[in-house]
A and B are shown apart, each in its own frame.
Chain A
Amino acid sequence: MNGSRTLYHMVRADFLERVRRYSFLLTMGFAIYLGYAVYARQVTLRLDDYRGVDNSAWLGTVVGLIATVWVTLIGFYIVKNSIQRDRRTRVGQILAATPMNKSFYTLGKTLSNFAVLAVMVLILALAAVLIQILRGEETQIALGALLSPILLLGLPAVAVVAALAVLFESLPVLRGGVGNVFYFFFWTGLISVSVTLVTGTQQPTGLHALQDFTGIAVVMGQMQTQLRQLDPQVSNAASFGFGNFHSTTKTFLWTGIRWTPALLFGRALWLAVTGALALLAAVFFDRFDPARNGLRLGRKQKSAANLDVLDTRFSVVAPALPSVFHLTPLLRDAPNRQTRARFFSLIVAEFRLLFRGHGWWWYAAAAGLFLGCLLSPVGAARSGVLVAAWIWPVLFWSQMGTREESFSTGSLIFSAPRAVPRQLFAMYTAGVLLAALTGGGLALRLLFAADFSALAAWGAGVLFIPAMALALGVTTGSRKPFEAVYTAWWYVGPLHHIRQLDFMGTTAQSSTPVGYFAAAALLVLAAYMWRSVRQAYA
């Protein structure tokens, strides 16, 4: 079998496996929602007080930008599981025993990721046609003007994301939750660099195009030039995003992006970056080697593990087995032996489980943040240190509700008496304790200062964060949704002290604790109901 045929079948099998999963329907649902958001003018592109007439060029450009801005964020979390799936299903071990080339594998996974994201972009393209017909501002559909921004802006951007997802999965440090959180900031950086170019006077071409990942600088630059010919007084103010806070009052006719060879070269460079990232991923890809995929053991554990090799050898020549086994019987007649709620010991067990697999440096930083909350001025502690203290445990909270699925321990746990309510609420309590501990320094300060309204805001955060983790974990079975949603929410709400979105109550003005108390209760209830429905005997 030749290389291209091997690659084709790798991509095909991976793509088919994905699209036949129910989760693919959610992916498509998200793409359809984005299309609807454009139709409902929830996503708007505006320049000063102008928007474009809804013709093919304008809608194609808006959809192209959606692909480069939003699909590149959500899409990453959607496709960052292809190598993990091979690992979990153990198909990887079969592949590793074949003559499969590592570069082929990572390239195949990149192409498969790209195919999934391209389907989303395709749905957006279809939505653009539909929107133009429904709006009826311009009835003639110009396919070139409609598709060129989608193909030349959107597809190279999602191709880069497809390769980045494979690279993240290949790097042990970015494979898990750290990668999920890190990507949000990486994406924010990419977008920020693009946006800063918008105000520049020259369009980024050639190698400078590598600064404009989204292509937004190209689009805005050309739009502003065209608009100034109509209205020389127009300002440089421009925005693109969700929300319809300031509706536009004027329209202008956008004729589409002029694709110069330099611009095309700039977009092609991103495809080259995609190839380079896919090949770079091959360098780090462990080819499912369990020795390279091992647990990070501490020094003590390593030495124990080495000793165990000897112990195992000795166990092979162990003396004859005892003919009678002795197990101390548990007291059957103890009052309510099984029914008595040993809730506290379960909370302790869940709490210990949350902390597994993290190094001493995590605890050192957490202790530093606790002290920072305790010792820095109250205002700074509330609006700054607490915000940092409550992003630090994100990878702990994200385990909540997902472990039984990801480690296949559900059958062991849910065959225990009243396991669903007991284990779920013990897990939630452990998450609440974690929040209370990491942000506890501030609570002590507020308590001593008798600032009960601030304390209530702190308490709402303590209850809300693990409730969100639990609800997302239980309903999706994956850590990724919480890691992505929480990080984005944390960035938009608490970090920027945006009222309604600030679940930590980082300032008196942005604090809305009552809503978050209620939301926490609803989320815990939702998690309980979801798990009850999923377990036949809950």
Chain B
Amino acid sequence: MQLAIENVTKRYRKGVVALREFSLDLKPGVLGLLGPNGAGKTTLMSILATITRATEGRVLWNDTDVARDPDVLRSVLGYLPQDFGVYPNLNAVEFLEYLAAVKGLDGAAARRRIDELLDLVNLADVRKRPLGGYSGGMRQRVGIAQALLNDPELLIVDEPTAGLDPEERVRFRNLLSDLSGERIVILSTHIVSDVEATATDIALIAQGTLVAHATPENLLKSVEGKVWEWVVLSADLTALKQKFLISSTTRRSDGVHVRVLGEEPPTNAQPVSPNLEDAYLFCLSRHRAGARAGAAA
């Protein structure tokens, strides 16, 4: 089972380039796709989900070019888009039965699967209620259930925990981890803690290019010795923000505890263990600096 993204470029009308010669090889596990707004994550997801075509480059599923034979991938694909709708007059069972039919699933197997999935996403009690009466989080859980309908080998989930309450978020993270053994899961999110909890690999994407692709451990190693904590006065905070790359601030009784990222420690700052958020910010900042230097040259 292998998904290869080879030099994929996506150019929209009016010349907007959302992805630039993007390459990535994926094997079973959870890939956390991280990046700022407008980085090209959703475009990449749409290309992988066969919703839109790459302008250049190719996507290979087990060595088959997806552009030539999209059904090879579609038959094993589970896709949860960032923004999707439901039919408000159908209940969850009817909606999932409909999508199971669209996906070409056997009726009996689909019904059993739907029962299990509704239990899994904690919607069994409201299974007969019209979807139009569901909250945003409940609809999102229906979306998660439909993505798992066909027992996908490739599961693509775009901002899956948006709108979920903390309990459901934990439940979904556990589910992703549990599912990842025999399949490729691509998880796109802004929520670094979701990636921290589930990802076996992380891809950082910015301005349509791949900034980093590594295991969480290696990504953390790359910023070891570059994260510092410093206690400062509230009044000095604004000036510090101009000077240093700050990943977080916490107000305590002795002042503001500031996490600073950088090669050189500020005076009196103490080294601390990096977390994924630090690594994410550091990589992005280095990429932007590189892009600025490239533009200046």
Segment of B22-30, B101-109, B192-200, B256-264 engaged in the interface with chain A: B101-109
B77 sits at the interface (CB 8 A)? yes
Determine which residue in B74, B165, B167 has the highest number of CB atoms from chain A within 10 A of its CB, and name it. Answer: B74
Which residues of A have CB within 8 Å of B105? 330, 342
When C-beta atoms are compared, the residue in chain A nearest to B49 turns out to be A415
Determine whether the beta carbon of A415 is less than 8 Å from that of B116: no
For window 289-333 of A, CB contacts with B under 8 Å fall at 294-295, 297, 301, 304-305, 308, 311-312, 315-316, 318, 321, 323-332
Per-residue CB contact flags for chain A residues 411-445 toward chain B (1 = under 8 Å, else 0) read 11111111100110000000000000000000000
| Nearest chain B residue, comparing its CB with the CB of A536 | B53
Q: Are A537 and B102 in contact (CB under 8 A)?
A: no
Binary A-proximity of B213-234 (CB < 8 A = 1, otherwise 0): 0000000000000000000000
- Selected from B46, B67, B101, the residue in CB contact (under 8 A) with A346 is B101
| CB-based contact A409/B126 at 8 Å | no
Choose the segment among B145-153, B240-248, B268-276 that binds chain A (4+ C-beta atoms closer than 8 Å). B145-153
Is B52 an interface residue, CB under 8 A from the partner?
A: yes
Could you tell me which residues of chain B, from 64 to 117, have a CB within 8 Å of some CB in chain A?
67, 70-71, 74-77, 79, 81, 83-90, 94, 97-99, 101-107, 109, 112-113, 116-117
Contacts of A416 in B (CB 8 A): 74, 99, 102-104
- Residues 49-107 of A at the B interface (beta carbon under 8 Å): none
| A4 is an interface residue with CB less than 8 A from chain B | no
A sample of 9 cross-chain residue pairs with beta-carbon separation below 8 angstroms, ordered by A number, consists of A295-B130, A297-B133, A305-B129, A311-B125, A325-B174, A327-B116, A327-B151, A330-B105, A417-B71
Q: Is B4 an interface residue (CB 8 A)?
A: no
Please give the residue numbers on chain B whose beta carbons come within 8 Å of chain A beta carbons, in ascending order.
Answer: 46, 49-53, 67, 70-71, 74-77, 79, 81, 83-90, 94, 97-99, 101-107, 109, 112-113, 116-117, 120, 122, 125-126, 128-130, 132-133, 143, 146, 148, 150-151, 165, 167, 170-171, 174-175, 178-179
Whether the Cβ atoms of A342 and B101 lie closer than 8 Å is yes
Check B112–A423 contact: CB distance below 8 A.
no
| A12 close to chain B: CB less than 8 A | no
Q: For B126, give its contact among A312, A316, A356 (CB under 8 Å).
A: A312
- Closest chain B residue, CB of each to CB of A334: B106
Alpha-carbon separation in the docked complex, A437 to B118 (Å): 34
Q: A295-B130, A342-B101, A417-B104 are in contact. Are A411 and B84 (CB under 8 A)?
A: yes
Given contacts A325-B174, A328-B112, contact A408 B85 (CB under 8 A): yes
The yes or no answer to A241 lying at the interface (CB within 8 A) is no
Quick check: is A345 within 8 A (CB to CB) of the other chain?
A: yes
Picked from A330, A338, A349, A408, the residue with its CB within 8 Å of the CB of B101 is: A349
Interface size grouping (class) on chain A: 35 or more
Partner of B103, one of A295, A311, A411, A417: A417
- Inter-chain contacts of A318 with B (CB < 8 A): 122, 167
Given the known interface contacts A411-B51, A415-B50, A423-B102, the answer about A353 and B87 at a Cβ–Cβ threshold of 8 Å is yes
Q: Is A518 an interface residue (CB 8 A)?
A: no
A102-145 vs B, Cβ < 8 Å mask (1 yes, 0 no): 00000000000000000000000000000000000000000000
B46 contact set on A, CB distance < 8 A = 411
Complex Cα distance A325/B175, Å?
7
Q: Which of chain A's residues have a CB closer than 8 A to the CB of B112?
A: 328
- A412 and B129 CA atoms in complex are apart in Å by 21
A357 to B106, CA, bound (A): 27
Is the pair A352, B85 in contact by a Cβ cutoff of 8 Å?
Answer: no
Query: Could you say which of B101, B130, B143, B174 contacts A323, with CB atoms under 8 Å apart?
Result: B174
Cβ-neighbour of B85 out of A342, A348, A407 (below 8 A):
A407
B-facing residues in A384-412 (Cβ within 8 Å): 403, 407-409, 411-412
Q: Are B171 and A342 in touch, CB under 8 angstroms?
A: no
Are the CB atoms of A409 and B85 closer together than 8 Å?
Answer: yes
Known contacts A409-B87, A413-B102; is A325 also within 8 Å of B81 by CB? no
* Interface residue A340 (Cβ < 8 Å from any Cβ of B): yes
Please state if B130 and A301 are interface contacts (CB–CB under 8 Å).
Answer: yes
CA A330 to CA B78, docked complex, whole Å: 13
Taking Cβ atoms with an 8 Å cutoff, the residues of A that contact B are 294-295, 297, 301, 304-305, 308, 311-312, 315-316, 318, 321, 323-332, 334, 337-342, 345-346, 348-350, 352-353, 356-357, 403, 407-409, 411-419, 422-423, 536-537
User: Top 8 closest A-B pairs, CB basis?
Assistant: A408-B85, A338-B75, A357-B89, A356-B89, A349-B101, A311-B125, A330-B151, A417-B71
Chain A nearest CB from B108 CB (Å) reads 10
Question: In the complex the two chains form, what is the Cα distance from A408 to B85 in whole Å?
Answer: 4
Partner of B178, one of A297, A324, A340, A413: A324
Answer whether A315 and B122 are a contact pair too, CB < 8 Å, given A327-B151, A357-B89, A411-B81: yes
How far, in angstroms, from A315 to B76 measured CA to CA in the complex?
Answer: 32
B84 contacts across to A, CB distance below 8 A: 408-409, 411-412
Chain B residues with Cβ below 8 Å from A295 are 88-89, 130, 132-133
Q: Which residue of B lies closest to A327 (CB)?
A: B116
Contact of B104 among A315, A342, A412, A415 (CB under 8 A): A342
A331 vs chain B, min Cβ distance (A): 8
Inside 8 A of A316's CB, which chain B residues have their CB?
Answer: 165, 167
Closest B residue to A321 by beta carbon equals B171
B154 CB, min distance to chain A CBs, angstroms: 11
Contacts of B81 in A (CB 8 A): 411-412
* B170: A residues at CB distance < 8 A: 321
Given the known inter-chain contacts A325-B175, A327-B116, A536-B53, please indicate yes or no for A297 contacting B104, CB distance below 8 A: no
Separation in Å of the B62 CB from the closest CB of chain A?
13
Known: A327-B120, A342-B107, A349-B101. A294 touches B132 (CB 8 A): yes
Residues of chain A within 8 A (CB-CB) of B74 are 415-417, 419
Contact across chains for B101 and A348 when beta carbons are under 8 A apart: yes
Taking CB atoms, residues of chain A closer than 8 Å to B87 are 353, 356, 403, 407, 409
CB-based contact B75/A308 at 8 Å: no
Q: Closest A residue to B123 by CB, please name it.
A: A315
> How far, in whole Å, are A415 and B51 apart by their CA atoms in the complex?
6
Q: Which of B113, B116, B151 has the most CB of A within 10 A?
A: B151
Which residues of A sit under 8 angstroms from B86, Cβ to Cβ? 407, 409
- CB-CB under 8 A from B120, the residues of chain A are 325, 327
Which B residues lie within 8 Å of A332 (CB)?
151
Contact B174 A536 (CB under 8 A): no
Bound Cα distance A294, B133 (Å):
8
Minimum distance in angstroms from B83 CB to a CB of chain A: 7
Residue among A308, A338, A356, A417 facing the most chain B CB atoms (10 A cut-off): A417
Report the bound CA distance from A328 to B130 in whole Å: 26
